Structure 1
Amino acid sequence: MKKLILALAATVVLTSSAYAESVRISVGSYNLNNLPFPVAQGLGLYKKEGLEVTIENFASGGSKTLQALVAGSTDVAVGFYDHTIQMQSQRKDVVAFVELARNSGLVLAGGKDSRFDPAKPETIKGAKIGITAPGSSSDFFVRYYLQRHKIPSDEVSIIGVGSGSAAVAALEQGKIDLLVNYDPAATFVVEKGVGKILIDARNDEGAKEIYGGLYPTSVLYATQSYISENPETIQKVTNATVKALEWMKNHTAAEIVETLPPEFISGDKETYVKAVENARAIFSSDGTLNEEDIKTPLAVLQSFNEKVAVAKIDLSKTYTNEFVSKVPKAASN
């Protein structure tokens, strides 16, 4: 009888492994706005949900991830919420279903020789400004700033420099005068003596000063067709991610960093831990998207994106809290 029980148990293990659900998840970059995703990965939470995850990283920025999702070469994207609005203006249904970062997390940093003074917006003219990639939220940040201060976009040069150490190196080497980026790059700029932060939207006050409100950024999103056809898979991805958010609330920055895959950590670990601590305020506590906060990205996009400005955007179709609301209590404690 004992042998029979052991044999049956082994069969169950083999069967569950054989029937693990495959899901392809792509991430736009290893900036800290996306941190809850690799934390969930590092803690093995997707595997515990019975998922076999194939991960692809597009280090050049979220716009590449969005392209992959629309083209059907990935199932779920770790990208920025504002992409869902852009896609609706192009009559494509892309839906956010878990919020990772409730706030921008962006900073505008100046190199040692930068002449830009935020108190005098016109001093940004002639600057070479580094962003993660064209079409990214860092790109939107710059264009919205210029638009608000009535400065033509052709008065500056906007250059894609990626994120993390590569972005900081571009500023340090003088390839750019200003850098709009996320942590860990924001912390690296200060800790390495490369420059200083001139505009800081990592905290709520800074975001409201720049955007007029909180600016949700990193989310998990998928096409509506994939969500409709694979609700159980989406629920499992949601369960694991929400559990990671809850875990992060109750652990130190150093403990969070210990869960990460080595390739996610930029620069030296000590400075990276400081970057995680500096970014803690931006993370969602439970993955829920706030219907008021998502109006901020729409206002930003409408200010300079012609397609969004003329389109009738229905924000209710750009996100859903359905799956977050169904996360089992055991998965969020």
Structure 2
Amino acid sequence: MSRIARIFKYTAVASALAACALGSAQASEKITLMVGGISKIIYLPAKLTENLGYFKDEGLNVQLLSEPAGVNAENEMLAGAVQGVVGFYDHSIDLQAKGKEVESVVQFCQVPAEVEIVSAKQAGKIKSVADFKGKTLGVTGLGSSTDFLTQYMAYKAGLKHGEYSILPVGGGNTFIAAIQQNRIDAGITADPTATQLVASGQGQVLVDMRDPAATAKVLGGLYPASSLYMPNAWVDSHKAEVQKLANAFVKTLKFIHTHTAEQIADKMPKDYYGGNKDLYVKALKASLPAFTADGRMPKGGPETVLQVLATFKPQVKAAHIDLSKTYTTAFVDAAK
């Protein structure tokens, strides 16, 4: 081979390698997702997908960040700081009423998997939601899904806004501290916090929304909750990336439904256990029925959420919400 031919050959190889490197860089462009409390079991699929390596299997470079309340995560997305949120689907409806379009692209839970916990010190005085009158109720944040659910339950029990107080206390240790310090009489929280409070004798379950049948009695039907939601415009302009995210998350949901709580716990960070793995496994078992098997929106779920929000949110009631723009099943339907 002549010297000139060799130069052309090496140049071609170098160009091909550079093109491959460029393609890899483009394929691994960072996608940042904000999670409304990453250690909460309702948002389990986020960290579990990362730990199982499913994001990398799809060629994705995903960064997970955490905010204690879903409403804070939502604000980060609206500000353009993150591309999507692992949070409650009901924000998609609430935001559309405010002129902003976001949609659930993978539905993780068919029910809230939240629990209304009454402080053990107040258990004798609060035996139903109607007893919330004059009490202080804890939520993760004002405008959060826990706030929505609290207001709806109080409304259905015949209470008016102002006959009870709502206090944002976050989740996890800050929620537990609020109970211990008597800052709240009751509050709504997710596992593993709910199970920890009951196991320690500091709290009692008043309303359990971890089970589909029990949730339907409280909210009138399935209430699709934790999901991956993203701005509709970003989804439309990044369909390839969204499809890869859907592929990864659907694999995780299948993993959840084909493995025991103990096996799932083994894949999670040890600091999520709160120093008690057995209690974490117990909390997992209580919440697993809430997860969808395939990431699809449960039939009738969006209608239930809309009905709940419209009950106490005049802006939602008057907005003529187009539910078809609040979620899509196109990506989970096409998931590998």
Quote how far apart the aligned CAs of 1:123 are. Answer: 2.1
* 2:222 is equivalent to residue 222 of structure 1: no
TM alignment of 1:126-141, pairs within 5 A: 126-141=134-149
Quote how far apart the aligned CAs of 1:223 are. Answer: 0.5
Q: 1:18 — aligned with what?
A: 25
Letter in 2 for 1:116: I
Residue pair 1:66, 1:77 contacting (<8 A) in 2 also: yes
TM alignment of 1:20-99, pairs within 5 A: 20-29=28-37, 30-59=39-68, 61-99=69-107
Q: 1:331 — aligned with what?
A: none
TM alignment of 1:276-315, pairs within 5 A: 276-315=284-323
Distance, in Å, in 2 between the alignment partners of 1:165 and 1:279 is 19
- The one of 123, 127, 133 equivalent to 1:117 is 127
Deviations 1:119-153 (A, max 9, x none): xx432211111111111111111101121122112
State the TM-score, normalized to the length of structure 2: 0.90
Letter in 2 for 1:237: L
Distance, in Å, in 2 between the alignment partners of 1:14 and 1:302 is 51
Quote how far apart the aligned CAs of 1:263 are. Answer: 5.0
Distance, in Å, in 2 between the alignment partners of 1:194 and 1:146 is 23
Letter in 2 for 1:56: L
Residue pair 1:171, 1:177 contacting (<8 A) in 2 also: yes
SS at match of 1:155: coil
Higher Rg of the two aligned structures: 2
TM alignment of 1:173-252, pairs within 5 A: 173-252=181-260
Letter in 2 for 1:211: L
Distance, in Å, in 1 between the alignment partners of 2:106 and 2:151 is 27
Distance, in Å, in 2 between the alignment partners of 1:156 and 1:269 is 36
SS at match of 2:85: strand
SS at match of 1:222: strand
Identity of aligned residues (%): 33
Gaps of 5+ in 1: 329-333
Distance, in Å, in 2 between the alignment partners of 1:105 and 1:266 is 19
Distance, in Å, in 2 between the alignment partners of 1:75 and 1:40 is 17
- Count of equivalent residues: 320
Deviations 1:14-61 (A, max 9, x none): 6665342321111111321111111101111101111111221112x1
- The one of 143, 146, 160 equivalent to 2:151 is 143
SS at match of 1:35: helix
Residue pair 1:301, 1:308 contacting (<8 A) in 2 also: yes
Quote how far apart the aligned CAs of 1:91 are. Answer: 1.6
Distance, in Å, in 2 between the alignment partners of 1:204 and 1:102 is 7
